[in-house]
DNA sequence: TAGTGGTCTAGACCACCCT
DNA sequence: GGGTGGTCTAGACCACTAC
């Protein structure tokens, strides 16, 4: 009915979205095949395919050859989080970023790190502890372990002048990774670093990256209380 | 050199990824244009376009007409989170799911809700408080406000037998939304509900959805301590 | 203004997999 | 076996925007 519908890829995408949202095609029901839709819209099948692929990527429909396309029964919402460099994250909040190195040394890595990375227990690794500030207030604590084998030359970097977060992104590519978000009570040491009361709820990001099955780095970011990670659906 | 490289869309995607990862094309550098790459790979420009679009979606390259394609300077890692129905989330952990309704009543919504939804202060809304259990242990507390105007018939639903999380997904479509993750200390009431000590760090998801600019629901999910939200990079 | 990516087409072949 | 989605092609026009 609506004449606003151009026969562009985006137009078709919106129209299909509408039919799903308004239960014209209820959850679980079959969607016409690409050829039929192309005929209905008077466009090439490729165009319909593009629109449908977008819906499939968003988890709204399921597609299988021969079985056809069906509206998802439980449309799990798919959220995309952009995790920028910490400096940019601070600056995006219109705050001034500052960085302070607490320690940088080669240590035998504790078991909780080596086991998750699949390294020998006690493997020597570069440990870096630092704090990022926003307008002179602690923003987060960065606790990082780097596998020197995977990042040649890292031992010679002075992480007092360059922050590890940024240096690694520029110099240590990764092919896969693993990320987890959780909440923790700040222990005494962390509370002091974040200038927060002991026991305060802290938003924690744990992240591990590999480069072709070789572990690169494991990092824990502990955000100062009040931090919110936000995005659109 | 590697002969594994078919001239499929995926093959090209991998090859471009390799050139970026191995700094053959360093951060900030210009990438050849689609026509040239198509000539190099001996394929249609469309195929190159598909591969490049994938890289752009992942945030690894930036593309602008006329300016061309460049390797991203600060490859912000893009994380995709699938947020399923709570029942499924519990069952995926091989736990038995159970649900308990605490209260369901029409109330004048507090300002912190109405202001975020863009509703008049004191608008009557349906408030639902409930707990989801995993193996008889509290899994999360669901604190939800529903705009009855946007969801006709919601007043007549008995949310003791159907849980709001699932019912809404099936019956209240949304076109856009807003989601935030944070950490909070459990107050006394929440701590009791979650069978956790007062002050325990709790992982919190705040979520608001709209249907064509009409607010549908605002919900806060407070997970029992120890919860981790996990995904791959 | 001209180079570049964005998109559409009509046709084709194929992989997958339900029946 | 056959229907369906996945993908590739060669060509075309256009929108955007750096220059």
Strand D, nucleotides < 7 Å from a protein CB: these are 2-12, 15-19
Asked if residue B77 lies in contact with residue A83, where contact means CB atoms within 8 angstroms, the answer is yes
A215: nearest Cα among A157, A166, A149, A122: A149
List the one residue out of A168, A182, A166 whose CA is nearest residue A210.
Answer: A168
What's the Å distance between residue B36 CA and nucleotide D11 C1'?
16
Q: Beta B124-134 vs B137-146: how paired, if at all?
A: antiparallel
The secondary structure of residue B43, as a DSSP letter, is S
Summarize pLDDT for A171-205 with one digit per residue, the tens: 888 888 999 999 999 999 999 999 999 999 999 99
Residues in chain B: 233
Which helix or strand (DSSP H or E) is residue A184 part of? strand A176-185
Nearest neighbour of A79 by CB, restricted to B174, B179, B228: B179
Please say whether the beta carbons of B146 and B154 come within 8 A. yes
Contacts of A7 (CB under 8 A, 6+ apart): A41, A42, A43, A47
Q: Is the CB of A64 under 7 A from strand D?
A: yes
| Residues with pLDDT less than 50, chain B | 1-4
Q: What is the pLDDT of residue B1?
A: 44
Q: Is the CB of A37 under 7 A from strand C?
A: no
Chain A residues with beta carbon closer than 8 angstroms to that of B180: 228-231
* Structural domains present in chain A: 9-71 (1.10.10.10), 86-223 (3.40.1410.10)
Alpha helices in B8-150 (DSSP H): 9-21, 34-41, 45-57, 86-92, 111-117
pLDDT 10s digits, A73-86: 887 888 889 888 99
Q: Between the CA of residue B213 and those of A97, A224, B117, B150, B152, what are the distances in Å? A: 36, 33, 10, 10, 16
pLDDT tens profile A92-140: 899 999 999 999 999 999 999 999 999 988 899 999 999 999 999 999 9
Protein-to-nucleotide distance from the CA of A51 to the C1' of D2, whole angstroms:
25
Task: Tell me the average pLDDT of chain A.
Answer: 92
- How many residues comprise chain A? 233
Q: Give me the pLDDT at residue A101, please.
A: 96
Contact A183 B80 (CB under 8 A): no
Tens-digit pLDDT profile for residues A197-208? 999 999 999 999
What band does A5 get if pLDDT is binned at 50, 70 and 90?
Answer: low
Q: Do B78 and A80 touch (CB under 8 A)?
A: yes
In this structure, is the CB of residue B130 within 7 Å of any atom belonging to strand D? no
Closest nucleotide to residue B48 (Cα to C1')?
A: D8
Residue with tokens 């939804």: B117
Distances (CA, A) of B99 to B145, B160, B171, B218: 18, 8, 19, 19
Nearest CB to B176 within list A81, A88, A233 = A233
In the predicted model, is pLDDT for residue A1 greater than 60? no
**To 10 degrees, the CA torsion angle through B118, B208, B197, A178?**
-140
* Helix residue ranges, H only, chain A: 9-21, 34-41, 45-57, 86-92, 111-117, 164-171, 188-193
What gap in Å lies between CA B189 and CA B138, rounded to an integer? 13
Residues A83, B75: C-beta atoms closer than 8 Å: no
The one-character DSSP state at A219 is: E
From the candidates A20, A87, A180, A181, which should be mutated to test the interface with B, based on the most B CB atoms within 10 A?
Answer: A181
Please say whether the beta carbons of A73 and A81 come within 8 A.
no
Tokens read off for B107 = 């109330």
Q: Quote the CA–CA distance of A216 and A146 in Å, as a whole number.
A: 6
Nearest Cα neighbor of A168 from A185, A145, A187, A190 is A145
Strand partners, B143: B129, B220
Instruction: State the Cα–Cα distance between residues A41 and A82, nearest whole angstrom.
Output: 35
């Amino acid at each position: 009915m609506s004449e606003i519908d151009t026969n562009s890829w985006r137009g078709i995408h919106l129209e299909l979205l509408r039919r799903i949202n308004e239960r014209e095609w209820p959850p679980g029901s079959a969607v016409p095949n690409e050829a039929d839709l192309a005929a209905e819209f008077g466009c090439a099948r490729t165009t319909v395919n593009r629109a449908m692929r977008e819906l499939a990527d968003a988890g709204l429909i399921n597609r299988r050859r021969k079985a056809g396309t069906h509206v998802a029964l439980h449309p799990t919402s798919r959220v995309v989080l952009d995790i920028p460099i910490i400096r940019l994250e601070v600056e995006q909040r219109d705050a001034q970023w500052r960085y302070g190195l607490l320690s940088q040394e080669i240590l035998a890595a504790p078991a909780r790190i080596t086991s998750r990375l699949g390294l020998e227990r006690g493997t020597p690794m570069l440990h870096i502890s630092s704090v990022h500030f926003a307008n002179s207030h602690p923003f987060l604590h960065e606790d990082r372990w780097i596998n020197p084998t995977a990042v040649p030359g890292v031992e010679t970097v002075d992480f007092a002048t360059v922050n590890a977060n940024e240096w690694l992104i520029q110099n240590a590519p990764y092919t896969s990774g693993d990320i987890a978000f959780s909440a923790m009570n700040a222990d005494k040491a962390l509370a002091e670093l974040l200038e927060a009361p002991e026991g305060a709820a802290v938003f924690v990001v744990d992240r591990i990256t590999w480069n072709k099955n070789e572990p690169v780095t494991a990092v824990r970011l502990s955000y100062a209380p009040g931090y919110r990670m936000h995005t659109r659906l």
